[in-house]
Amino acid sequence: EDQVTQSPEALRLQEGESSSLNCSYTVSGLRGLFWYRQDPGKGPEFLFTLYSAGEEKEKERLKATLTKKESFLHITAPKPEDSATYLCAVQDGGATNKLIFGTGTLLAVQP
């Protein structure tokens, strides 16, 4: 059964204090691993898709990496506006494109 585990559940950082969020997964044939950002009361906002081990993608202060068992979302010099819940999801190689989500990491960046 496909499974996604994110850690930590919550993370509090000072502005400028870099850190990483972890997403561990088990899936029968990974088609893609997705990172989303979700603000309270809103739908998830797409950040990255990673397809194969060794792949990396960057966007502003965020960088996502992928291995065969896990993905990391690195946040460099975060700002208060980076505060949100970060969700990881995997898509297997089946006939549907459905996503299996982790429970997310709630990030709070203090000024």
Distance between terminal CA atoms of the chain?
41
Mark residue 16 as left, alpha or beta (left: phi above 0; alpha: psi -120 to 50; beta: remaining): left
* 8-37: contacts with other proteins (CB under 8 A): 31-32, 34, 36
Contact string (CB under 8 A) for other proteins, positions 92-111, x = contact: ----xxxxxxxxx-------
Torsion angle, alpha carbons of 69, 52, 21, 109, to 10? -170
Closest CB 90 distance from other proteins, rounded Å: 11
Contact string (CB under 8 A) for other proteins, positions 33-72, x = contact: -x-x----xxxxxx--x-----------------------
- Cβ contact 107:11 at 8 Å: yes
Residue ranges binding other proteins (CB under 8 A): 31-32, 34, 36, 41-46, 49, 87, 91, 96-104
